[in-house]
Amino acid sequence: MIPVTRPYLPSREKLDRYLDGIYERQWLTNKGPLVQELTRRLEDYLGVRNLLLVSNGTLALQIAYRALGVTGCAVGERREAITTPFSFIATASSLKWEGIEPVFADIDPDTWCLDPAQVGPAVTSCTRAIVPVHVFGNACDVEALEEVAQRDGLKVIYDAAHAFGVAYQGKSLLTRGDATTLSFHATKLFHTLEGGAIVFKDEAHLEYAKRLINFGITGPETIEGLGINAKMNEFQAAMGLCVLDEMEANLQVRAAIWQAYESALQGGRYQLQLRNPNASNNYAYAPVLLSSETDVEATMAALREVGVYTRRYFYPSLDSVDYFGIGTRNRHSNDVAKRIICLPIYVGLTDRDIAKIVSVVERVAS
């Protein structure tokens, strides 16, 4: 069987050494030495400052909203954030969970990222933030989005769950906006089994978020406000340190797979994502846009017959999810969501596997 993805598992011997240290120290959580080491190493590797590790990527979003003052309103006050409907459910559900109404603006039909031209008209007196997504690691039009935010006095929180290690104009993409969140789920390019991080622009927001993720506790007998438990533990950090050690080898393999797909699937009845020319590619995903939803269903069925499992990622478009209560539909997001599949990409996929996948896609689309 060839799954759409497979978690990267690093050297067992190295992981065992980290685990031996955890057993010796018996320090399992609460900002242990491995969490501290991973924080330092990630800041260095990614070229960022003010990075905070958390227990998962959804809580990273929720903590960012609270740290930046997007959450928390008077009784009866409505707060909104403009975001994309073409994303994983957590982008929008995390807003709803925090009492912020997600307002969906449409995507660019070629880059599949939030279209800045659609954001401006969606701003109201209730809007507090813009939450764009670097879809499949493809950098948004950050200048245009941040121009809208500056004009209207809005916070910008980027969902960069897919954008680990992406550079933009020679600097880390993760330094853009007021905050950028990351997911370190097991299926991500870089992972800590479960986990996530927030990169803040300002150190003051980082310090506030540190209190938020530890119940608001600031000392053995001191609680300074409302908080939650969102801390990363030592076992998660141990996995992250091992995966980070092998990141370059991981990237080389994924790049070769991605480039093989790109070379084979140019033209025809499919379309590849238009990449931001100012940004690097981390080869996190291999999405392909087919000509119709019928072609998607036929291609997935044909691939399953030969033991290959793909995913309609992202489907459905979030503006069609009932509990958001959205009446209108965003045309481009719904169109792309119906026609997209992600092909397998992970370390361990062979040239023979890739050839089999490509031949099925080309046969169905011909």
- Active site members: 188
Local structure of 293: helix, strand or coil: helix
Q: Which of 3, 5, 2 is nearest to 185 (CA)?
A: 5
Tokens of 212: 């938020």
Give the number of other Cβ atoms within 10 Å of residue 112's Cβ: 25
Among all chains, which residue has been given the structure tokens 């045309």? Answer: 331
CA dihedral 206→223→74→157, nearest 10 degrees, is 20
Q: How far is CA 272 from the centre of its chain?
A: 19
Per-position b or e across 190-212, b if 16+ CB within 10 A of its CB:
bbbbbbbbbbbbeeebbebbbbb
Greatest CA separation found in the chain? 69
- The one-character DSSP state at 86 is S
Q: Which of 123, 145, 120 is nearest to 133 (CA)?
A: 145
Q: How far is CA 260 from the centre of its chain?
A: 24
Strands (E), 118-203: 127-131, 155-159, 167-168, 171-172, 179-183, 196-200
DSSP string covering 303-344: HHHTTB--B-TT-S-GGG-GGG---S--HHHHHHHHHEEE--
Those residues with Cβ within 8 angstroms of residue 248's Cβ, 6 or more apart along the chain or in another chain: none
Among all chains, which residue has been given the structure tokens 């533990």? Answer: 233
Q: State which amino acid sits at residue 129.
A: A
